[in-house]
Structure 1
Amino acid sequence: MPRPSGSSTTLLLLLLAVLLVRGANAGSLEGDAAALADFRLAADRSGALATWNASASPSPCGWRGVTCAGGRVTRLVLEGLGLSGADALPALARLDGLRVLSLKGNHLSGAVPDLSPVQGLKLLFLSRNALSGAIPPSLGKLYRLYRLDLSSNNLSGVVPPELARLDRLLTLRLDSNRLTGGVDGIALPRLQDLNVSHNLLAGRIPVAMAGFPAEAFGGNAGLCGAPLPPCKEEVQNASPCPPAAAMAASSPSSKPPDGKGKMSRGVVAAIVAADFAVVGLVAGLLFCYFWPRLSGRRSDRRHREGEKIVYSSSPYGAAGVVAAAGGTYERGKMVFLEDAGGRRFELEELLRASAEMLGKGGCGTAYKAVLDDGSVVAVKRLRDAAPAAASTKKDFEHHMAVLGRLHHPNIVPLNAYYYARDEKLLVYEFMRNGSLFSLLHGNRGPGRTPLDWAARMRIAAGAARGLAYIHHASRRGGLTPKLAHGNIKSTNILLDRSGEARLADCGLAQLGTSSPAASSAGYRAPEAPAPASRPWASQKGDVYALGVVLLELLTGRCPGSELPNGGVVAELPRWVQSVVREEWTSEVFDLELMKDKGIEEEMVAMLQLALSCAASAPDQRPKVGYVVRMIDEVRACGDPQASSPSHGSSMDESSGVSDSPAVSEGGAASQ
């Protein structure tokens, strides 16, 4: 297959081809039509598939329930149509281009056929039929399978251990059958939805499956172990030590022959209660005596540690050292920008605040600071880079005034700054919900709440709108050079308390304070100069970085992440293109998105948009206003309510934002 030229038309054709076709020699549409005709002949006794004939539609792609792509049948969805017959299903094994097969709610009987020829099958739904016999071990060969539902049939026999090969499986429903044996073989690593209830299963539930609810195993009298009651041998082996009174009562040497001196149960209970009361009283007295001293020491220690954080360790650098020493070194002052939100304060109060480092980036170090009244702000201490030191105070103040006028619901507002010769601090609203990076990549193990498709699209739309507003501010304000963000990446896309995406570190790259952090390398456009040569930011470079973020949302991978084969994703756009050329597009997408049904077309459209943004040539990248419109159109396909901007700005044709500046709603996450 030739390498994509980069044009959107060629790319879209490539994506659709590799998404739904396994190869040129994998069969033909004529063969698919013949297989469907055989299925209809064996299953359609009620005439529900009357449109399946050449006179009504010469191509099977126009038949009821049939979907084609790339010249092959890829989806067959025939639910609740009264289809029946014991010999109908084997014909479908010839549809080797099939990705989705759903025959729920019919009356099909017979055995589940060998579907191993359909190697690309991702979703298989055969529930609520009359299928019988054993589950075929050949299902274990469908290694691309994400969802398998065989519930509410008459299946019998054991659950085949071959199902353990389906390491991509997210859903497994085998409930309401007559299956026997244990469930040890289906403790799959990625399984999110499991139901084996109402069968004849027996044995201990594996520890790896204990996290599923009890309802997933109910109706199996022979199953035991968490989350169901413990197995009998566990109860018998528990053998707790008998109380001393019972031991004495059972000892022949301690039992008086005439029964005298034997204590009643009430006396024993009274003695035990008295013992507990005495122990509780002593513990209470000790607590009252020692707690004030311990708490006082802890308070003093915390106070001293707080002072050490602010003054000795000086998270805010020279400003903290000067405040601690009371020296006469050059002092600046806190400058609050016009229309800045939040409470105003002096530098000394900021230096007294408890500081918690949030992270280091190319522009400097970020801290969470809790002020005297409990309000929280984010403080960015800019790097002491040589270009920054060479910037004059007038240049710095002018740039801060420009950034202070950026008020938009998708931008973290700059409220104040501090300038001194050796220290520069920026004060922002604090975003409590963290960054897109932590939400998308943090805690990928068990217990994680996946970021669903709707949330990812909302974040993508918010980030694009914020960037469009920044770019539009240049045209509206006549700025030269044009204002660019300069450091778009997932760690700089924060979420406010309502879940809206906000861009952080806007415009700081043009101050000359940024340095080539390892986490930023994968977001730099190919035309960017060598990281150490000079400060650089451009609007075309912003669009490239936004394209990388969109790919990050789609793939669940970030630049620099490790691959299962031991490799590393150096450049995310190049990795995606290589997988698309060599495999099929669904291999690119994040497995966590597989739980969202019916979004395949939206994902392919977003993948095309992301790759166009991340084109190697700058002139092939779209303007960010176009990106905003395309994201809104894709969202409208899935949810008509989601297409309009959440803050109601009319979109400018070239910039993607309204000509009048949007007003920030303020305080979204600072309090």
Structure 2
Amino acid sequence: MPPPLLILLLSPLLLLHSLANAGSLDADVAALTDFRLAAGPSGAALASWNLSANPTPCGGAWRGVTCAGGRVTRLVLEGLGLSSAEALPALARLDGLRVLSLKGNAFSGGIPDLSPLAGLKLLFLARNALSGPIPPSLGALYRLYRLDLSFNNLSGVVPPELGHLDRLLTLRLESNRLTGGIDAVALPRLQEFNVSNNLMSGRIPSAVAAFPAAAFDGNVGLCGAPLPPCKDEAQQPNASGAVNASAAGDCPPAAAMVAPAGAEAQGGGGKGKMSRAAVVAIVVGDFAVVGLVAGLLFCYFWPRLSGRRSGKRLQQGEKIVYSSSPYGAAGVVAAAGAGGATFERGKMVFLEDLSCSNGGTRRFELEELLRASAEMLGKGGSGTAYKAVLDDGTVVAVKRLRDATAAAAASKKDFEHHMAVLGRLRHPNIVPLTAYYYARDEKLLVYEYMPNGSLFSLLHGNRGPGRTPLEWAARLRIASGAARGLAYIHHSGRRGSGTPKLAHGNIKSTNILIDRFGVARLADCGLAQLGSSPAAAAARSAGYRAPEAPPPPRPWASHKGDVYAFGVVLLELLTGRCPGSELPNGGVVVELPRWVQSVVREEWTSEVFDLELMKDKGIEEEMVAMLQLALSCAVAAPEQRPKIGYVVKMIDEVRACGEASPSQDESVDESSGVSDSPAVSEGGALSQ
């Protein structure tokens, strides 16, 4: 039957009316009103939702409602006794919603289709009376970070569509009646996970096997690590290809229990006794094994005890080996003689009195350094760094400068002058240069050892289950320390002395080290002026080198370039990404500042922030302030960048505001592990 003419004439008008109301605050008010009416008598807790007394939900008077940019973005109604099976679908019309938490109520019925809430990041429906299956439409909420459906009456299998939520950090499905396997929840970024007390079965995927057994308990059908092994694993074939008899429940064959002929005569008539020849063979074998082990230990430890040096190249990480240098402990005198009268033998030069009584590094000779056991810490543009343990247990960091650097061609006088300048840099946020060694073919720098690694390893190392995220307060503390160290370097030149002020020249997260007290210290100060090989300089410049810098390998460093690089480091702290890292869509961040600016221009500022910061509460304003500061440091025009002293001041102000502001924990409890607010306001782009 064709529709009436009146319907056909009015349908365009109805469509225009619906489009006019969609995506507006009026539409949000209508959805909230319908939600309250559907809640019935239990909606008495929402008496503040009164259009007569409070005409707008964005004034702060509507309970649990928060707005941003003229839209309702956060709805948190926890523990209010709300109960209804018809109320939840109305919330699917709040298409600007970022946070939805209805924990601790009595909502019943099924979970509605929430796919229209495309921007939803936090969804908490725990501790209600929801039933039915988990809707596959939840897989369309691709921005979701936290999903908590625990302590309900949900049934059915976990839909495979949840595997599309590759940003998910929290997934809690415990205490329901879910069945089937859990292959769909093997998500890469999960930090909090629980499916305990359900009816699930099957093997636990390796992607979630790192979570504790408590996350899977109460599912009698689940097996595999961290729970007991599955039955098919208990009956794996042994080395001969036969199933273990005890595991299979079979008795050993009768022939295995028959003693060989003549056993009593050989064994002295005692049943089950071992023959004398067998005993002798076992004893001889034991002695042979002990002798072999002793020989291996002797071969391993004797070179260390005797102090002898072989000409072989040992494995990387076991010893510092300077195979290309003629200045080893055995050949240093001969090399000096071969160099002619105009070239002096190399020696260790200590830059100031750093005796053990003063808490510094004691003096030592080159021979003792070459004897030190060591491991490689990493390779950089200026050389390779090692951790060296001297004979008395003293630990130092040694950097061997690359042969291709300009330092190799620099005169001894210029090199010594530059080392003297760097040796005077003494500040709590700078790794001190304590000594150096200069020879024609070998140049070594000795630093105080920093035991807690680099900022790079803290930010980017071992991401996945079991990782301890770097919290926001620690990131601010590291940023403040690194900025103070850089400010000291920039102002290290003495007034009136004619000494030019230094620049660091190689600011990056791998050169921000953490000492034993957790204090950030800048490493490799002033080494960029020595130059580097083209490949090393290109690697160093990836993402950190200022646009105005000349192409590598020309030595270059400036205050403005340092500020640019420090701005990139601040962006690393905020985004959790390093320059050159891959994006989720397969793209590559070549210039991190440009990528951040493009995201901010699209008014999705919160999308740039590290997911690991989502658990910290009340830090949105601090992150936005730091983002503005980072982008001001990393602008393309050098004259528009602030001085490092201003950067230090701004970071300190952000830290002071964070320490003075109260925690925002009114709506999401600690079990959720995340702030009840998205990372920042969704209102608009930052001003540049």
- Does 1:440 pair with 2:449? no
**Cross-structure match for 2:37:** 41
**Cross-structure match for 2:369:** 350
CA distance in 1, matches of 2:256, 2:644: 91
CA distance in 2, matches of 1:130, 1:236: 42
Using structure 1 for the length normalisation, give the TM-score.
0.80
From 556, 570, 585, the equivalent of 1:536 is 556
SS of the aligned residue for 1:481 comes to: coil
From 638, 643, 647, the equivalent of 1:623 is 643
5 Å-filtered alignment, 1:439-458, equals 439-444=458-463, 448-458=467-477
- Whether the 8 Å contact between 1:361 and 1:517 is mirrored in structure 2 is no
SS of the aligned residue for 1:523 comes to: coil
- Whether the 8 Å contact between 1:508 and 1:514 is mirrored in structure 2 is no
SS of the aligned residue for 1:557 comes to: coil
From 25, 32, 40, the equivalent of 2:28 is 32
CA distance in 2, matches of 1:222, 1:241: 25
2:485 maps to a residue whose letter is: G
CA RMSD of aligned residues (A): 3.7
Give 5+ residue unaligned stretches, structure 1. Answer: 1-23, 256-260, 262-266, 643-671
5 Å-filtered alignment, 1:19-418, equals 27-43=23-39, 45=42, 47-61=44-58, 62=60, 63-232=62-231, 234-235=233-234, 239-241=243-245, 250=254, 281-300=283-302, 308=312, 314=322, 317=325, 319-320=327-328, 323=332, 325=334, 327-328=336-337, 329=339, 330-340=344-354, 341-384=360-403, 388=407, 393-418=412-437
Indicate the larger mover: 30-39 or 303-312.
Answer: 303-312
SS of the aligned residue for 2:46 comes to: coil
Q: 1:485 to 1:312 in 2, by over 3 A?
A: closer
* CA positional deviation for 1:638: 4.5
From 478, 483, 486, the equivalent of 2:505 is 486
SS of the aligned residue for 1:288 comes to: helix
**Cross-structure match for 1:503:** 522
Q: 1:216 to 1:92 in 2, by over 3 A?
A: same
**Cross-structure match for 2:674:** none
- Whether the 8 Å contact between 2:169 and 2:189 is mirrored in structure 1 is yes
- Whether the 8 Å contact between 2:101 and 2:125 is mirrored in structure 1 is yes
**Cross-structure match for 1:18:** none
2:473 maps to a residue whose letter is: A
Question: CA offsets, 1:74-100, max 9 Å, x none?
Answer: 111222222222222111111111111
**Cross-structure match for 1:593:** 613
2:508 maps to a residue whose letter is: K
Give 5+ residue unaligned stretches, structure 2. Answer: 1-19, 238-242, 265-269, 355-359, 663-688
Q: 1:357 to 1:214 in 2, by over 3 A?
A: closer
Q: 1:83 to 1:564 in 2, by over 3 A?
A: closer
SS of the aligned residue for 2:628 comes to: helix
* CA positional deviation for 1:179: 2.1
1:30 maps to a residue whose letter is: D
* CA positional deviation for 1:513: 6.0
Q: 1:502 to 1:84 in 2, by over 3 A?
A: same
SS of the aligned residue for 1:172 comes to: strand
Q: 1:449 to 1:378 in 2, by over 3 A?
A: same
1:593 maps to a residue whose letter is: L
2:322 maps to a residue whose letter is: S
Indicate the larger mover: 356-365 or 60-69.
Answer: 356-365
* CA positional deviation for 1:460: 1.8
- Whether the 8 Å contact between 1:86 and 1:109 is mirrored in structure 2 is yes
SS of the aligned residue for 2:115 comes to: coil
**Cross-structure match for 2:548:** 527
- Whether the 8 Å contact between 1:496 and 1:502 is mirrored in structure 2 is yes
CA distance in 1, matches of 2:661, 2:56: 35
- Whether the 8 Å contact between 1:519 and 1:559 is mirrored in structure 2 is no
CA distance in 2, matches of 1:134, 1:86: 15
CA distance in 2, matches of 1:566, 1:200: 38
- Whether the 8 Å contact between 2:189 and 2:464 is mirrored in structure 1 is no
Using structure 2 for the length normalisation, give the TM-score.
0.78
5 Å-filtered alignment, 1:641-660, equals none
* CA positional deviation for 1:69: 1.8
Question: CA offsets, 1:444-496, max 9 Å, x none?
Answer: 46654443433333322221121122223336786642222111011211122
Identity rate, percent: 74
CA distance in 2, matches of 1:638, 1:121: 26
Q: 1:606 to 1:176 in 2, by over 3 A?
A: same
- Whether the 8 Å contact between 2:188 and 2:464 is mirrored in structure 1 is no
* CA positional deviation for 1:27: 0.8
- Whether the 8 Å contact between 1:79 and 1:104 is mirrored in structure 2 is yes
**Cross-structure match for 2:486:** 467
- Whether the 8 Å contact between 1:309 and 1:355 is mirrored in structure 2 is no
Indicate the larger mover: 567-576 or 543-552.
Answer: 567-576
- Whether the 8 Å contact between 1:362 and 1:520 is mirrored in structure 2 is no
- Whether the 8 Å contact between 1:309 and 1:354 is mirrored in structure 2 is no
CA distance in 2, matches of 1:252, 1:512: 76
Question: CA offsets, 1:563-621, max 9 Å, x none?
Answer: 44444322211122233335723333333434445544433332222111101112222
CA distance in 2, matches of 1:390, 1:254: 83
CA distance in 2, matches of 1:100, 1:106: 17
CA distance in 1, matches of 2:136, 2:275: 61
* CA positional deviation for 1:175: 1.1
